[in-house]
Amino acid sequence: MTRLYNDPVNFVDEATEGFVAAHAQRVCQVPGGVVRSTRSEPGTVAVVIGGGSGHYPAFAGLVGQGLAHGAVMGNLFASPSAQQVYNVCKAANNGAGVLLSFGNYAGDVLHFGQARERLIREGIPCEIVAVVDDVSSASREELHKRRGIAGDLTVFKVAAAAAEAGYSLEEVVRVARAANLRTRSMGVAFDGCTLPGAKDALFHVPAGKMAVGLGIHGEPGISEQEVPTADALAELLVSHLLEEVPDGVGSVAGAKASVLLNGLGSIKYEELFVVYRRVDQLLQAAGIEIVEPEVGELVTSLDMAGASLTLFWLDDELERLWKAPADTPAYRKGSLDPAPRIDTSKLDIPDADAIPPASEASIAAARCLYTTLSAIRKVIDDNVEELGRMDAIAGDGDHGIGMQRGAVAAELAAEDAVSRNAGAGTLLRLAAEAWADRAGGTSGALWGVMLSALSLTLGDDDDPTPQHYARGIAKARQDVMAFGKAKAGDKTLVDALIPFSDTLERAVADNVDFATAWGKAADAAATAAEATSELKPKLGRARPLAEKSLGTPDPGAVSLSMIVAAVHTVIDKSR
């Protein structure tokens, strides 16, 4: 369990503060994460990595010469917000573009994707490589759906070494993708981890059992079995990984590979060395030349009891980049001449709270939107436990609390924006960023996307009309489906959003009174949300437990229907 903390709410902030104080010669803190405190070569690509906190040394521990230029740090096991990603990228940018890399989790894909779009709009080239090394999380045919675990390190290291060598952004992306396709990992767990202040672990593995393929956040694995000997565990992991040799490697005998044996938090180094002894024997017997292996904690999960094995199949270029020197707080290789320190006061850190001028009509609309966000917060407060109960049936049970954190943060941001005479667009932008930042996870990302779409449609100049709101909701639907890749029938909030948007758009086009039009759309959303009880999830963490969710509606669709119904009440009272 996690024993040392003050207020659990402040755990990540205080851990980051202490980490930076301990490693000021290599990193400095910026809003949303950390960047190098040493000077990088101007005109080179910046590699920015990130994800939820709780996985140290990933991600902050891998920032420094020869490795990442910056790391974005979300809350514990929650994706960072798009604003956090944007902040770190702006501070880390060296003038030749940015590569974003992270584990392939839905919230990260959404938030990093949003930040990428914003950077490109500002003229900063930006590309994404999401790591997909975990063989247990999807079939080889659906490799793009796999999650990233300890194989993150191989992709980060190769990309950063290429950037350090002066590769163009296109070339950095090329080698990062090559490393991604040549990295395979598999993990096991003996018990779950405990969040600071929690009374119990996030999950448990039955006593005497080992979960094979379990994810680093407790995502389902592929089987359970009796806890084996160290040698038997090595044989299990090696045999599984040798069954899936990446395309292009050719014969295993004579191939080169680096090997990563990773402890997830509670497995001690001596135990890992016992396992690695047998891993080395098996790989040598297969004729594999092992190049600069790593044994230790590389990507953890607080105090989770477990381990993973990674094979990184090398070619000449990947070998050279893997062996290149690096000097970070948690990962060092070879030797480097220390780079000079930067003047942190000159970092490009955006002022996310600036309030641009707005028309009187837009300022008045912003006050109405603040009232609406207060109603949204209240309906989520009233239903937080029920939403969590529904989510726990086939997910991790955090939908209610995540939505509550997001709604509270959005209301507070809107209150502050109104006090500073923000327009409707700015108020919604700040609310979107606050919701996504505080809620974390997929639902936080999606609500950030939706509120951002409305923000862009309303702007700060016009007096919003029903047509503005109908177009904004249509854009929200389009953006959510583009970022989340969900479609009708996947058992997500999209199943309620599509009929809501379509009904509102038709009613507004027919010049129906806006309150009536919104009410019709809210009814359509409620009906569609309830109908998701007959669907099986096809995306997200609930997908592996699809059968369990039959008979229960999707919590994201239900929370959406609750929210639009609450908004209808506000609109109806205001006419």
Active site residues: 217
Distance from C-alpha of 265 to C-alpha of 282, rounded to nearest angstrom? 25
Cα-based distances in Å from 491 to 408, 484, 556: 26, 12, 9
**pLDDT of 200 over the 90 cut:** no
pLDDT (mean) for 111-121: 90
The proportion of the chain whose per-residue pLDDT surpasses 70, expressed as a percent, equals 95
**pLDDT of 542 over the 50 cut:** no
Same domain, 81 and 35: yes
User: Residue 174 is part of which domain span?
Assistant: 8-331
Cα-based distances in Å from 427 to 330, 397, 419, 421, 534: 40, 30, 10, 9, 37
Question: CB–CB of 377/436 below 8 Å?
Answer: no
Higher pLDDT, 9 or 248: 248
pLDDT, tens digit, for every residue of 212-267? 998 887 777 888 999 999 999 999 999 999 999 999 998 999 999 999 999 999 99
With respect to residue 349, please indicate whether it lies within any of the assigned structural domains: no
Same domain, 204 and 300: yes
Can you give the pLDDT at residue 107?
Answer: 79
Instruction: Kindly provide the residue ranges of all beta strands, DSSP E only, lying in 135-255, ordered along the sequence.
Output: 183-191, 209-212, 223-226
Can you give the pLDDT at residue 337?
Answer: 87
With respect to residue 496, please indicate whether it lies within any of the assigned structural domains: yes
With respect to residue 49, please indicate whether it lies within any of the assigned structural domains: yes
pLDDT (mean) for 455-480: 93
Of 279, 313, 331, the position where a domain reaches its end is 331
Q: Which of 201-210, 318-327, 340-349, 432-441 has the highest mean pLDDT?
A: 318-327
Same domain, 134 and 188: yes
**pLDDT of 538 over the 80 cut:** no
Same domain, 402 and 493: yes
Q: Domain with 270 in it: what CATH number?
A: 3.40.50.10440
Q: In what helix (H) or strand (E) does residue 103 lie, and over which residues does it extend?
A: strand 98-103
Same domain, 292 and 400: no
Same domain, 484 and 556: yes
pLDDT, tens digit, for every residue of 259-294? 999 999 999 999 999 999 999 999 999 999 999 999
Higher pLDDT, 80 or 315: 315
pLDDT, tens digit, for every residue of 323-348? 999 999 999 999 888 888 888 877 88
With respect to residue 339, please indicate whether it lies within any of the assigned structural domains: no
With respect to residue 345, please indicate whether it lies within any of the assigned structural domains: no
The one-letter amino acid code at 531 reads A
With respect to residue 354, please indicate whether it lies within any of the assigned structural domains: no
Of the candidates 369, 371, 376, 484, the one whose C-alpha atom is nearest the C-alpha of residue 429 is 369
pLDDT, tens digit, for every residue of 146-158? 999 999 999 999 9
With respect to residue 311, please indicate whether it lies within any of the assigned structural domains: yes
Total count of domains within the chain: 2
Same domain, 553 and 447: yes
The three-class DSSP label of residue 33 is: strand
User: Looking at the DSSP assignment, which residues form a beta bridge with residue 183?
Assistant: 312
pLDDT, tens digit, for every residue of 357-392? 999 999 999 999 999 999 999 999 999 989 888 887
Residue 125 structure tokens: 């080239």
Phi first, then psi, for residue 402 (nearest 5°) are -65, -45
**pLDDT confidence of 548, banded at 50, 70, 90?**
low
Instruction: Kindly provide the residue ranges of all beta strands, DSSP E only, lying in 221-377, ordered along the sequence.
Output: 223-226, 256-263, 289-290, 294-296, 305-314, 326-327, 332-333
pLDDT, tens digit, for every residue of 43-85? 999 999 999 999 999 999 999 999 999 999 988 888 888 889 9
- Residue 299 DSSP symbol: S
Same domain, 185 and 302: yes
Residue 416 structure tokens: 């502050």
Residue whose entry in the numeric block shows the structure tokens 């929650």: 78
Of the candidates 32, 128, 119, 93, the one whose C-alpha atom is nearest the C-alpha of residue 342 is 93
Residue 255 structure tokens: 């191939």
The one-letter amino acid code at 529 reads A
Which residues fall within 8 angstroms of residue 299, CB to CB, at 6 or more apart? 55, 57, 58, 149, 150, 152, 153, 216, 262, 264, 308
Of 287, 314, 331, the position where a domain reaches its end is 331
Q: In what helix (H) or strand (E) does residue 101 lie, and over which residues does it extend?
A: strand 98-103
Give the DSSP letter string of 518-531.
HHHHHHHHHHHHHH
Question: CB–CB of 257/291 below 8 Å?
Answer: yes
Question: CB–CB of 101/161 below 8 Å?
Answer: no
Least confident among 196-200, 300-304, 450-454: 196-200
**pLDDT of 546 over the 70 cut:** no
Q: Domain with 484 in it: what CATH number?
A: 1.25.40.340
Same domain, 167 and 304: yes
The one-letter amino acid code at 168 reads S
Same domain, 321 and 442: no
Of 311, 331, 351, the position where a domain reaches its end is 331
pLDDT (mean) for 129-146: 94
Same domain, 271 and 125: yes
Q: Residues for the chain: how many in total?
A: 575
Same domain, 311 and 402: no
Q: How many CB atoms lie within 10 A of CB 433?
A: 25
Residue 414 structure tokens: 């809107």
With respect to residue 475, please indicate whether it lies within any of the assigned structural domains: yes
**pLDDT of 543 over the 70 cut:** no
**pLDDT confidence of 444, banded at 50, 70, 90?**
confident
- C-alpha triplet 452, 458, 462: angle, nearest 5°: 160
